[in-house]
């Protein structure tokens, strides 16, 4: 009986520790997103200053560095329109960033693995948002290809978004994977 009373007396303390752990996880995730943003912006600045527009620098038989500007979304979707898409995609990225920031803040410690891919998507969304607001386009420079068939050029932010989204999809198929081994 005294064990039950002692453990029930600790419930507020346990809840407080979980809340603190949850906030620590959130700040760690924001730092990860910040790292993605910094890496994305540094590499884009390098590409924009070191390369001429559409210059191709072969790296391997299947990979080039080439400077491209994308006024649209993925695969240059809507890139050929009059300019309204800049503000549409900027607004979409801003809304996504706010949703992700709140989602990460509210993640429970038991689901901490969900926060990593969300951080990647957040960092990528903000990285491309910065480009849209500053330049009116997104700077792309990574060009993978096979023979004459090229994948659309992309950047670090795009890579983070794709990796984060793929990780989230994987976690959705394996709900038990959302929980770290420390929780089991």
The set of catalytic residues is 140, 158
CB atoms within 10 A of CB 177: 13
- The span from the CA of 160 to the CA of 42, in Å, is 15
Could you identify the residue written with the tokens 């649209």?
72
Q: Where are the alpha helices (DSSP H) in 107-155?
A: 115-135
Cβ–Cβ < 8 Å for 118, 104: yes
Token pair in block for residue 26: 């959130």
Based on C-alpha coordinates, what's the Rg of the chain? 21
The CB-side HSE value for 38 (13 A sphere, CA atoms) comes to 6
Say how many C-beta atoms besides its own lie within 10 A of residue 77's C-beta: 13
């Amino acid at each position: 009986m005294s064990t039950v009373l002692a453990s029930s007396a600790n419930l507020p303390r346990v809840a407080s520790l979980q809340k603190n752990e949850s906030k620590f996880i959130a700040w760690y995730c924001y730092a990860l997103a910040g790292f993605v943003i910094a890496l994305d912006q540094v590499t884009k600045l390098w590409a924009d200053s070191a390369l001429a527009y559409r210059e191709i620098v072969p790296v391997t038989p299947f990979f080039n560095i080439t400077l491209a500007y994308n006024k649209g979304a993925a695969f240059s979707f809507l890139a050929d329109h009059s300019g309204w898409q800049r503000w549409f995609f900027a607004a979409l990225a801003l809304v996504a960033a706010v949703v992700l920031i709140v989602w990460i803040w509210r993640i429970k410690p038991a689901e901490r693995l969900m926060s990593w891919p969300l951080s990647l998507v957040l960092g990528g969304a903000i990285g491309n948002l910065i480009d849209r607001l500053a330049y009116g386009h997104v700077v792309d420079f990574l060009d993978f290809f096979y023979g004459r068939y090229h994948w659309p050029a992309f950047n670090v932010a795009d890579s983070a978004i794709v990796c984060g989204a793929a990780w989230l999809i994987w976690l959705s198929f394996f709900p038990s994977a959302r929980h770290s081994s420390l929780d089991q």
